[in-house]
Amino acid sequence: MKQFLCWVPYQGKGGLKTFHYEAVDNPALDMKGGASFPIIPVMSGYLEENEETELIAVVADYENARDNFGILREETGNICRAKNVHCNIREVQVPYDDGLEAQLDAFKKLVGCIEEESELYSCISYGSKPSSVVEIMTLRYARMVKHCSNECVAYGKVDFNTDKAYIYDVTALVYLDDILRVLAENDVLAPEEVIKYMLES
């Protein structure tokens, strides 16, 4: 099963704008049209007709986040209808709190949503800085324990000087973290050379 994961942003009313996200390094993410959520180009690029899928949306107990969740539901519905896909939207409610206890609770809830052997697609654009760490932790745990695959980790960025938006595929960074651990355990003194070789191979 393909599962998509994102955090719902905290922007106030009118602050969440629609952009055409230009794919930087993964053509699959170059969606025609605009979106307020970078997870939408990810869904557009990887969903296939007649599939069943699930979007896991983390929503903080905060009015702006709840309002923005409504926009996410609308955009998800549009892309799923266009792809003729049945999509279940699962809301994961978390406190509006960046403390350690709240983040660990979010991690527990997210892990509980991940199905065994799922193909995981995620976006780390929104949420707080700690929530991005929690999202990466969830992906790594799901891969190691639930035998899932991390197919795409996306990051959307807006250049406010030009008002252009870009979407990056940063999946390799998730896997490189695991590789760095192995290199460190084996006392490799020049890890950057090994990493460069692997990326170019």
Domain contains 189: no
pLDDT of res. 197? 72
pLDDT of res. 133? 94
pLDDT of res. 198? 66
Domain count, the chain: 1
Domain contains 125: yes
Domain contains 192: no
Would you place residue 199 in the very low, low, confident or very high pLDDT band (cuts 50, 70, 90)? low
Domain contains 188: no
What is the tens place of the pLDDT at every residue in 55-72?
999 999 999 999 999 999
Q: How far is CA 167 from CA 26, 57, 107, 124, 125, in A?
A: 9, 19, 25, 11, 9
Give the global pTM. Answer: 0.91
pLDDT of res. 155? 98
What would the mean pLDDT of 76-98 be, rounded to a whole number? 96
Domain contains 155: yes
Q: Please say if the pLDDT value at position 172 is more than 90.
A: no
Give the residue with greater pLDDT, 190 vs 201. 190
For residue 199, how far is the Cα from the chain centroid? Answer: 22
Domain contains 44: yes
- The domain of 9 spans 2-169
Distance (Å, rounded) from C-alpha 199 to C-alpha 193?
A: 10
Strand pairing class (164-169; 149-159) = antiparallel
- Which of 131, 170, 95, 126 is closest to 16 using CA atoms? 126
Q: Please say if the pLDDT value at position 186 is more than 90.
A: no
Task: Specify the CATH number for the domain of residue 57.
Answer: 3.40.50.10640
Domain contains 43: yes
The one-character DSSP state at 61 is: S
Least confident of 19-23, 49-53, 119-123, 187-191: 187-191
Domain contains 201: no
